[in-house]
Chains A and B, each alone.
Chain A
Amino acid sequence: GAVVSQHPSRVICKSGTSVKIECRSLDFQATTMFWYRQFPKKSLMLMATSNEGSKATYEQGVEKDKFLINHASLTLSTLTVTSAHPEDSSFYICSASDRSYEQYFGPGTRLTVT
């Protein structure tokens, strides 16, 4: 139980385009989902917290217009990187939390912007 999936696992896009990453909780309802960003050999940096049906709460320094987060249902959250640039290339990881507040992480999405 407590499986979280992400799609796609890898994506390569051209500079200036937008990319959508999906995070799904497969066997439980996620009251809260979190989006992280991880650079090579670095730790996970929290980008934003999203609760179903409400606006995401972004961490300091994260541009909400750049990283659009939608949490439309209790099993799906999406992160859209708008007008991507090479510096947006990173490993993006989501996690989902049920009512026990334990977080279950997805397998991550490797974004490369050329």
Chain B
Amino acid sequence: GQQLNQSPQSMFIQEGEDVSMNCTSSSIFNTWLWYKQDPGEGPVLLIALYKAGELTSNGRLTAQFGITRKDSFLNISASIPSDVGIYFCAGETDSWGKLQFGAGTQVVVTP
């Protein structure tokens, strides 16, 4: 089946630094999504990407949909303590909106 490879698995960064993570797949996805999950909570949508090559920003977050529709990256600029959490990429696999999730990137921000 389709698999999303997300890296890195975890990141320990200092407040103010930029963060970058990415997802790749051997399969094409119609839509790429980036979510953040806090402990004990459900995922919250950060950015949705619909077109190949699309670059979208949401505040300090920037994400791009790869030209081949097989990859995406998420950047967080000038990290702050509340950026701590697990970030997941997800690809939409069919017209019903079924999602395939990456393994997640745990971000830890130290003061």
Q: At the interface, is chain A mostly helix, strand, loop or mixed?
A: strand
Query: Contact: A105 with B42, CB < 8 Å?
Result: yes
Any A CB within 8 A of the CB of B101: yes
Query: Contact: B43 with A44, CB < 8 Å?
Result: yes
CB contacts (< 8 Å) of A105 on chain B: these are 35, 42-45
Output the least CB separation between A97 and chain B (Å): 5
Query: Contact: B96 with A106, CB < 8 Å?
Result: no
The digit string for B70-94, where 1 denotes a CB below 8 A from any CB of A, is 0000000000000000001000100
Query: Contact: A43 with B42, CB < 8 Å?
Result: no
Which B residue's beta carbon lies closest to that of A93? B42
List 14 additional contacts besides A41-B106, A102-B97; criterion CB under 8 Å.
Answer: A32-B97, A34-B97, A42-B104, A43-B101, A43-B102, A45-B101, A46-B100, A49-B96, A101-B97, A105-B42, A107-B41, A107-B42, A108-B41, A108-B42
Q: Which residues of B contact A (CB under 8 A)?
A: 35, 40-45, 48, 88, 92, 95-104, 106
The 21 sampled A-B contact pairs (Cβ below 8 Å) are: A4-B42, A32-B96, A32-B97, A34-B99, A41-B106, A42-B104, A43-B88, A45-B101, A46-B99, A46-B100, A49-B96, A49-B98, A93-B42, A95-B42, A101-B95, A101-B96, A102-B48, A103-B97, A105-B44, A105-B45, A110-B40
Q: Number of residues in A with C-beta < 8 Å to the partner? A: 24
CB contacts (< 8 Å) of A95 on chain B: these are 42
A44, A91, A106: the one contacting B88 at CB < 8 Å is: A44
